[in-house]
Structure 1
Amino acid sequence: MSTLLAADLDIAHTATIATAVLAVMVVAVVGFVGLGFYRARRSTAGEAAYRDLVERVVEAESRTAEATAATAEELGGLRTELRGTRDEMAEVKQRLAELERLLSQIG
Structure 2
Amino acid sequence: MTAASDDIAQVGIITSTVMVIALVAITAFVALGVYRARHSAAREAHYRGLAEQAGETQARLAEDSRQTVAELKGLRSDVQATQAELGRVRERLTELERLLSQIG
TM range (shorter): over 0.9
- Equivalent position to 1:21, from 18, 23, 28: 18
Shift of 1:72: 0.3
Superposition pairs for residues 65-104 of structure 1, below 5 Å? Answer: 65-104=62-101
Structure 1 moving runs of 4+ over 2 Å? none
Whole-angstrom CA distance in 2 between matches of 1:87 and 1:105 = 27
Whole-angstrom CA distance in 2 between matches of 1:11 and 1:104 = 134
- How many equivalent residue pairs? 104
Whole-angstrom CA distance in 2 between matches of 1:43 and 1:33 = 15
Residue segments in structure 1 that go unaligned for 5+ positions in a row:
none
Question: Are positions 1:10 and 2:7 aligned together?
Answer: yes
The percentage of aligned residue pairs carrying the same residue is 48
Deviations 1:23-79 (A, max 9, x none): 001111011001101110111121112111111110111011001001101100100
Deviations 1:1-44 (A, max 9, x none): xxx22122122112111111110011110110011011101111
Q: Name the TM-score, length of structure 2 as normaliser.
A: 0.94
3-state secondary structure, aligned to 1:28: helix
3-state secondary structure, aligned to 2:102: helix
Whole-angstrom CA distance in 1 between matches of 2:69 and 2:10 = 86
Whole-angstrom CA distance in 2 between matches of 1:29 and 1:5 = 35
CA RMSD of aligned residues (A): 1.0
Shift of 1:102: 1.1
Q: Name the TM-score, length of structure 1 as normaliser.
A: 0.91
Residue matched to 2:52: 55
